[in-house]
């Protein structure tokens, strides 16, 4: 157990028993415990395997390359349609965790084997995603914006595309695009 991570288990009163049990399982599998993104992360040879995180309605294991795991138990959940690699296993009670411990360990061991084999999730290219019409029009009208957008990393490009696309109304999409145009021109991502 890494003392730098202890605070996470102490501060989460709602899911305390559940996340402590998840911690024990990950450590029983011989993984190293580190703090990443403010959460307990379990690694093998410095490669991320699984992360513990909490939400209002549940706590979860997040397998970084969960899309590559054989989900024979049907427990792995794709959080949203835009998540390409990671998969969650969600819990609302410590009894569920204890009951599925062998399955969870099997997922962890398989995730370690995925890392050992050097397997990677084939991610979609940014060009595979539909750019909202309003943003496409703005890119065509402002060459500097198009150049700046194309200079962003693929992940930052996708963040903008997803954010703009989530708005149901054209007016809202246009407002979002207007709000972030300067940030794109400055070479910044959505959350920079």
Per-residue pLDDT of the chain (192 residues; tens, 9 = 90+): 888 999 999 998 899 999 999 999 999 999 999 999 999 999 999 999 999 999 999 999 999 999 999 999 999 999 877 788 999 999 999 999 999 999 999 999 999 999 999 999 887 777 777 889 999 999 999 999 999 999 999 889 988 998 998 888 999 999 999 999 999 999 999 888
**Residue in the block written with tokens 């991570």:** 5
Question: Do 67 and 134 sit in the same domain of this protein?
Answer: no
What is the reported pTM?
0.73
CATH code: domain of residue 10: 3.90.1150.200
**Residue in the block written with tokens 């054989």:** 70
At which of 70, 92, 116 does a domain end?
116
Question: Do 102 and 23 sit in the same domain of this protein?
Answer: yes
Q: Copy the structure tokens of residue 171.
A: 């007016």
Q: Is residue 77 part of a domain?
A: yes
Q: Is residue 191 part of a domain?
A: no
Find the farthest-apart pair of alpha carbons in the chain and give their distance in angstroms, rounded.
58
Question: Do 53 and 91 sit in the same domain of this protein?
Answer: yes
Quote the distance between the C-alpha of residue 174 and its chain's center. 27
Q: Domain range holding 164? A: 126-185
Q: How far apart are CA 82 and CA 68, in angstroms?
A: 16
Residue 158, C-beta contacts closer than 8 angstroms, at least 6 positions apart: 82, 126, 129
Q: Is residue 190 part of a domain?
A: no
């Amino acid at each position: 157990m890494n003392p730098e991570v202890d605070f996470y288990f102490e501060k989460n009163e709602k899911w305390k028993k559940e996340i402590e049990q998840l911690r024990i399982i990950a450590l029983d599998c011989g993984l190293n415990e580190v703090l990443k993104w403010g959460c307990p992360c379990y690694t093998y040879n410095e490669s991320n395997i699984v992360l513990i995180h909490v939400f209002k309605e549940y706590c979860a294991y997040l397998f970084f390359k969960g899309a590559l795991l054989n989900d024979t138990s049907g427990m792995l959940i794709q959080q949203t349609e835009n998540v390409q690699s990671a998969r969650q296993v969600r819990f609302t009670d410590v009894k569920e965790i204890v009951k599925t411990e062998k399955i969870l360990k099997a997922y962890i061991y398989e995730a370690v084997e995925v890392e050992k084999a050097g397997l990677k999730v084939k991610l979609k290219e940014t060009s595979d995603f539909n750019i909202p019409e309003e943003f496409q029009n703005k890119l065509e009208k402002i060459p500097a914006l198009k150049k700046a957008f194309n200079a962003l990393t693929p992940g930052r490009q996708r963040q903008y595309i997803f954010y703009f696309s989530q708005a149901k109304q054209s007016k809202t999409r246009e407002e979002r695009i207007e709000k972030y145009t300067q940030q794109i021109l400055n070479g910044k991502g959505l959350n920079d």
